[in-house]
Chains A and B, each alone.
Chain A
Amino acid sequence: MAFEPRNADIGELTVPIYEGPLPKPDRDSQEYWDAARGHQLVLQQCLDCDKFRFYPRLICPHCLSERFEWRKSSGRGVVYSFTVIHRPPSPFFRDKVPYVLALIDLEEGVRMMSNVVDCDPGDVNIGNHVEVLFEDINDEITLPKFRLREGLD
């Protein structure tokens, strides 16, 4: 059975409701997801040991400090590893496969999972330089994703 998006009726326009899995922001992550909605990728930096961390959390995993500030990431990084997903993890992804799921090492020294988009999956390699872009999903959630940086590989 093919996936068929349901449509939301918002006046004269109908837009598909996003039925994929979405994050549910919590007390650790609310600012991260708020920043993403404003098209900024932010990271926590410890004010005691200066290390960045990902994913966001109350206490620094390097020194246990509770003092941190949110810093804007450069949004640039390198593909540490990637896989091309061919079997959809849920019905939502049936018309999305194949797509690239990657581990991205950001310039700030932390690693995050994301998708490398705007390219053929066959064009992605480990070591590729990538930069963040933002995919607005709905009023609450924007997902940071990545694309290859032209001319750098």
Chain B
Amino acid sequence: MRLKSGAFNRVVAIAGVAESDCGQGIPLTALQHQALAAKRALNDAGLKLSDVDSLMAVGFLGLPSLQIAEYLGLRLRFTDTTVTGGSAFESLVEHAALAISAGLCEVVLITYGSSLWSDRRRVIEGGGVDPQMPAAQFETPYGDLSPISAYALAAARHMHEYGTTSEQMAEVAVSSRRWAMLNPKAVMRQPITVKDVLDSPMISKPLRRLDCCLMTDGGGAVVITSAERARDLRKAPVFVLGSGFATSHNTITQMSNATITEAVNSGRQAYGMAGMTASDIDLIEIYDSFTISVILALEDLGFCNKGEGGSFVSGGRIGPSGALPTNTSGGGLSYTHPGALGIFLIIEAVRQLRGECGDRQVHNANTALVHGIGGWLSSHATLILGN
């Protein structure tokens, strides 16, 4: 069954957003990050804990939504803990919209938090691999550096097919850093050049250290409710205009064309629901786990033609004062990345659409596209938000 065009269009809204404290060496546990972010997001919305009747979370806890709800003293009547890697938080917004529009709950709190950096853990999406799972049998014995090597395999193929260069990928990191320099909360704020990226140590060819996202501590929370209720709350509502989700594989060997992602289909559905095209979008927040991720997503979401992403991101087009503001917080490459970025993409888009972003504010920002990528380019979730 196909969703009707406009299924969620302005039916629900994001009413509150907040981070905990993000950085490297924040003395908070994963639960503390989520509790603090939840409190601040509810305050941002002007809602009380007792208003919340649904909590959604994805993390590395055994039963994340139950544990976080208990820690906060919440009883739930709806929950979701979709485990699809880095696209999960965009999917949770979609699921919150479904649940609210069906009358299953009224106020959804979405949380994420991790003390990844402080714990010196390398937590990978889908971590704790069963030795009999396909990846453990057919990839790990060959020394894959998951997830970096999977994105490197896609980048190498993109370079081969379209002539994309390391310099062009470096442009993504440079633009992210220029945004981060305008964001007081960003972890990495010293300027970098394309040469700095190319001079950084090779990790998994062609990806160098500065092509890869950060590892930090941090947490975030988002409050979603009906558009009707959101209109009476503290901040101007940011409406969910469209959403889409698509997958093609889990392990990278099963991705038939490593240069074309399912962002094509998640984007198509989101645009269709919103009644928009790429030309209607004022700013973009893409899960920049790696520089190549941004190039692939910009192509597949229709901002440029397939294969032209490398030249498209060059010359500052996606940086501050560029034609297509992208990852305006500095993203996972320069702002924060406590193991998962999805919730922070939503937080930044909401703040931009409210006009709260100070030095990095995008002028006349009315429509934002948020795109999460999970696993090994495996899952894709697109949101279109508007004020």
Which A residues have a C-beta under 8 Å from some C-beta of B?
Answer: 20-26, 29, 54-55, 80-89, 93, 96, 98-99, 101, 103, 111-115, 126-127, 141, 143, 145
Contact = CB atoms under 8 A, between A and B. Distances in A.
B153 A143 contact: no
Contacts of B142: 101, 113-115, 143, 145
A103 B137 contact: no
Contact of B132 (A21, A24, A98, A115): A24
B156 A82 contact: yes
Given A85-B143, A85-B149, 7 more contacts: A21-B136, A21-B143, A24-B132, A26-B132, A29-B137, A55-B138, A98-B205
Interface in B103-155: 131-132, 134, 136-146, 148-149, 152-154
Nearest to A125: B160
A81 B205 CA distance: 11
A61 to B, nearest CB: 9
Interface of B: 131-132, 134, 136-146, 148-149, 152-154, 156-157, 160, 201-207, 252-254, 258
A55 B134 contact: yes
A76 to B, nearest CB: 18
B252 A113 contact: yes
A22 B140 CA distance: 8
B153 A81 contact: yes
Contacts, number: 107
Contact of B143 (A20, A23, A26, A54): A20
A82 B203 CA distance: 13
29 contacts: A20-B141, A21-B140, A21-B141, A23-B137, A25-B132, A26-B132, A54-B253, A55-B134, A55-B138, A80-B157, A81-B153, A81-B157, A81-B160, A83-B152, A83-B206, A83-B207, A85-B143, A86-B202, A87-B145, A87-B203, A87-B204, A89-B144, A101-B142, A101-B149, A101-B204, A103-B153, A111-B253, A112-B138, A113-B252
Given A20-B143, A55-B138, A113-B139, A81 B131 contact: no
A20 B144 CA distance: 12
A60 B253 CA distance: 17
A126 B143 contact: no
B141 A86 contact: no
A30 to B, nearest CB: 11
Given A23-B141, A55-B138, A83 B204 contact: yes
Contacts of A111: 253-254
A89 B132 contact: no
Contacts of B132: 24-26
Task: Please indicate which of the listed interface residues B141, B148, B157, B206 has the most CB atoms of chain A within 10 Å of its own CB.
Answer: B141
A89 B258 contact: no
A119 to B, nearest CB: 15
Contacts of B146: 89
Contacts of B139: 113
Contacts of A82: 153, 156
Contacts of A55: 134, 137-138, 253
Contacts of A23: 131, 136-138, 140-141
Given A21-B140, A82-B156, A143-B142, A113 B253 contact: yes
A126 B156 CA distance: 8
A81 B156 contact: yes
A145 B138 CA distance: 11
A29 B135 CA distance: 12
Contacts of A114: 142
